[in-house]
Chain A
Amino acid sequence: MNRRDFMIGGAAAFAGSALLPRRGLADVPVLYDWRAMPPTTSKDIYIAWMVTNRGEDPDLLGRRYDRFEHMVGHRDLFTDRDKRAFLMTPREEFCLEKNLARAYDRDFLDIGYGVTISGPNLVGRMTSSIDVQRGDKVLEVGTGSGYQSAYLCNLTDKVWSIEIIKPLAERTRGVYDKLISRGYTEYQAVTTKNADGYYGWEEAAPFDKIIVTCGIDHIPPPLLRQLKVGGIMVIPIGPPGAQHVLKVEKKKGLLGGVRVKRSDIYRGSVVPFVPFTKLEGDEIVGTHNQ
């Protein structure tokens, strides 16, 4: 076996085994309902509702709620639909077992193959800012952990996702299939494939929104073509955990042609950095490092 095969095989074995044993693999007790909104009057009420309706782990639900409050405080979730999407997505299912305790930390986490799962704040902000409407066709380039597409499934029922790394694509497909079999029927909205995302997904085009999460030195022209006029594409730029997200809008030019406009998801305002803070009750105290 040559070294490359060994590394890939080893990483796959490692990553695969890390995902397998999960506590509380209970089926979802209540059928998914687009109108169902988890209550946010208090953490306990939220947990109770989620346990009843989704059958998830109360401890992790508590952490999800803490992160939720933090994200609302930092205005990473704009609308009730965005809030619902975050509250309904079990992020822990998309993290490696070794990182389970940190699933709701603000940090990005390793998922193997040199790929990370972005921090919840960034996923929240980025998704909120492209304003996905129910029925929108959304393409994700770089499936990775699968969390982003799972999150999108709570906003629209038409999601396509492409992953370039074959073992990762297969692993994440397996995660979806397992979740669907447990009753997370909303993830049936995701169609996945293992391919080069550079060429987009011609058969399913055009898309209302495109999210690209792979590093490249230019925006792939096929993706720009597969974006509807009036559509939005977002691309995080920079190292993992980057705070800057390039936003590309495809517009009609004044003379009728098509124009591409670059900006960032914050519509041109400089984004103030907010230090790592932790919530105790309703108060923000200290930083995670202290």
Chain B
Amino acid sequence: MRGKDVRLDQVAIRFGGSTAVHPTSLAIEAGEFFSILGPSGCGKTTILRAISGFIEPSEGRVLLGGEDMAGKGPNERPTALIFQNLALFPLMSVAENVAFGLEARGVGRRERLARAEELLDLVALGGFGGKKPADLSGGQRQRVAIARALAVEPSVLLLDEPLSALDLKLRQHMRTELRAIQKRVGITFIYITHDQGEALAMSDRVAVMSRGRIEQVAAADTIYADPATPFVSTFVGEQNVLPGTLVSLAKDEATVDTPVGRVTGRAKGDLAPGAAVLVMVRPERMALDGRRENSLTARLTARHLEGASVNLDFEAKGRRFLVVMPNGPAARDIPDEVTLSFGRTDALVYAEGPLANG
């Protein structure tokens, strides 16, 4: 199996009067594990369905391996889709499910069942071919769906939140498994999810979407450490958000007046003095001492033990601050009044814009 690259060229999708996807261009490399991350209703599933051929884009082109897919139905494209609810055929055996794509291609019974057995071995379900999907556990059904999709030797595998129905432990296990399967078969995976943990853990690159637009496309580490917009910043991981007014700008160092005093941070995008801005600091970047450039006095309001880490809620000037620190002696016996501080490079300063939580 060989992966193919996927390119969206100014693809826009409209349903009636409403726009599901604004003109979007995207280049996904062959053999890449690519995730599209966004809240529900952001248009990510619509993009996936446009790639798989269930929807024709209203504008623009979808190219698979350089070939324009216009006018080709889902059965004519080198893609296979794994549905959110898996959509296994409940009345067929597991082996028949896996062999269905080959059956549709006219492969003889003996040959396709042999191939199904190989694929079931690949997903560690050898010997389960005779069972019905209902007899399997959630994780096993998941793997059957993957085997069924791989049976047609697609160049691009499209996954529409297939892990969302599983419980937490299984979901984490399946992440590793999916990534391993992708490495083994070497084809392009496009993975749709609203779960940032999944996207960050599995993907080579992640696209973050909001309201029909792609906000940022980058490697998982970059998405977390250097988010491009306030939306990405707050959608992926936790942030302490401080609204303020930009006082001055020197190179990319921004000075901002905020309700808790004057702070400095790294400017993101074009900013002009006097503009309304948002200062974002990751909770784990906040320290419980006054040793860093920006500091403020805060009062402890709550302490939540998470296991390996501790979440501390502080309040300063009516604003809530979250600090995450590793569990240990330092995380106990926190005085009621402390000085919080964060470095100049830990604070990102954005022009005001929509946040993920409204």
Partners in one complex: no
Binding site for A on B (CB under 8 A): none
Binding site for B on A (CB under 8 A): none
